[in-house]
Amino acid sequence: MSKISLFYLSILALLASLLSACSSNGPAMVATANPHASKAAALMLEKGGSAIDAAIAAQMVLTLVEPQSSGIGGGAFLLYWQNDENKLTTFDGRETAPQNAGEDLFLDKNGAPIPWRVASIGGRPVGTPGVIALAWKAHRQYGRLPWLVLFQPAIKLANDGFAVSPRLSNALKKSQDALKRNEEARQLYFLPDSMKPLPVGFMLKNPALAKSLAVIAAKGPNGFYKGPLAKAMVEAVNTYQGNPGFLSMEDLASYESVERPAVCAPYRTYKVCGMGPPTSGGLTSLMILGILENYHIGNLGVGSATAMHLFTQASRLAYADRDVYMADDDFVEVPNKGLLDKNYLRSRAKLINPLKDMGKVKPGAPKGAELAFMKTAGIKQREYGTSHLSIIDGDGNAVSMTTSVERGFGSHIIVGGFVLNSQLTDFSFRPVKNGFKVANRVEGGKRPRSSMSPSMIFNNDGSLYATLGSPGGSRIIEFVTRAIIGVIDWNLPMQASFDLGNVHNRNRITDLEKGTNAENFADQFKAMGHKIRIGKITSGLHGIRITPNGLDGGADKRREGTVIKVGE
């Protein structure tokens, strides 16, 4: 696209913004993982945009400033609350496996799983991206500002440049060897004279991304899923030396974002809602809460060792079921109702010993479960490629959106200035175990199981109380669930809930976050029989709570997030 075309596009965007801006009724707030993204979202709200408009603008900026975590080459799940209609809508923008991808996608010639560190870099793990389709679908229903206006902050920042943050610079250092295999990545993220990763403070410009975003702004999803940009993605994926993939033009052209029913369940006097399959996040989080509802967590002390012991045990039980039963329910019959049944969760809660770790537990048998499903083959994964944002606009409409490229920098393929995902590694590498098909095996067109857990909490009168979520791989579920317990059981402000030390048990070892109050639980947990590990645990919680005194926001101090109030 020429400079003249870009100039006229900017003029059209400005005129459209002036014509469409409308006033809102009250204060608004945004919480995202990067100050630039928060500013872009706030700007859309100031122009009279909706929470959806603000979320899209933030995502486009995150593609630029936090490429290791999310972007238009990845996927997302989004919960949207339309306040005047008391309506909750969820949008599934999860990547899909190429139609030509088979169950043996991650098996070598001998039928053994390829190591994750090898499989996750290159074309093989790239799924059909869903972010643009999700954004378009959500905007068509709930956007206020013109589509092209939402891209202007990211386009301007990509052309003008931004200072590389400590987190981005550190991520580049960790991923430099794999990134250097990609020509566009070498040109974008490394110093030309020394080929060292860009240092903190370096003014990074990304004209290729500016051009890609301008095309999408002008042409809508067709600018992404069809035409030159689509061809470039397909070529990059299928010609990656040593680990090519299977993405096709047909895969891109036929991709659709899907509206799905939210999964909801009562917790104390509130109702908690999350995203249903293909993510396991909503169901597993609600299961943990449903099990813990049989205990008086609120009376056990804020973030106490006793309370967090119960949390680890409930997590063990929920993760055991997650591993067996949860996958893309367009392909697998997931027993949602059975997993959330109060009697079933009560029976699982009875297995907990308040004074002793139960060790590794077996999955239960909820009503409607198909016992032939087998546990996903255990593959050790380290995931940093996810982000979360929460927004409430001046009319009380709200967004909870978790967005991801899977591992840090996804596949490490850069096309058109953005990162392509590696989400297909979220499938089970082994399609069969003990003679039975694995629920989360690879199938063409299928969406890999996720742990993303965008969530909303509602008061007993049906009004919105809070919106929150987090990145963090399979630990996302526990990050979000612990934060929900913080704001409900302990009535903590959003930030204080996020600041509590992280404690995890995904039916394995118990992890305690180093340098926090959680580290102090070590001796007591050992006495209870826990096998513990103390280390760095980087959550990325972002959320907003509605209180009688106004909006209360939080941004996880473990990352670079920022909360911005609008209209106050």
Positions annotated as catalytic residues are: 386
Q: What burial class does residue 535 get, using C-beta atoms within 10 Å of its C-beta: 0-12 exposed, 13-18 middle, 19+ buried?
A: exposed
8 Å CB contact between 141 and 89: yes
Going across the sheet that includes 532-535, the strands are 503-504, 510-513, 532-535
What beta strand segments (E) does 268-325 contain? Answer: 270-274
Q: How far apart are CA 319 and CA 343, in angstroms?
A: 18
CA-wise closest residue to 286 among 503, 541, 331, 277: 277
- Cα distance between residue 184 and residue 187, in whole Å: 5
For residue 261 the two structure tokens come to 């029913």
Encoded tokens for 502: 């992280």
Q: Which residues of 487-522 are buried (b: 16+ CB within 10 A; e: fewer)?
A: bbbbebebbbbbbbbbbbbbbeebbbbeebbbeebb
CA distance 510 to 556: 22
Asked if 279 contacts 451 with a C-beta cutoff of 8 angstroms, the reply is yes
CA neighbor of 123 nearest in space, from 141, 142, 106 = 106
Residue 257 structure tokens: 């974002």
Q: Which structure tokens are listed for 86?
A: 């008391």
Query: Any idea what DSSP says for residue 275?
Result: -
Q: Which of 327, 529, 356, 523 is nearest to 439 (CA)?
A: 327
Closest CA to 467 of 447, 484, 482, 450: 484
DSSP state of 181: T
Note the residue count of the chain: 568
Give CA–CA dist 463/471, Å, rounded: 26
Q: CB–CB of 472/285 below 8 Å?
A: no
Identify the DSSP state of 400: E
Q: How far is residue 523's CA from residue 311's CA, in Å, rounded to a whole number? A: 17
What are the φ/ψ torsions at residue 190 (nearest 5 degrees)? Answer: -130, 145
Phi and psi at 512, nearest 5°, equal: -120, 135
DSSP for 39-96, please give it: HHHHHHHHTT--HHHHHHHHHHHHHHH-TTT--TTSEEEEEEEEGGGTEEEEEEE--B
Q: CA-to-CA distance for 349 and 328, rounded, in angstroms? A: 27
Neighbours of 523 (CB within 10 A): 10
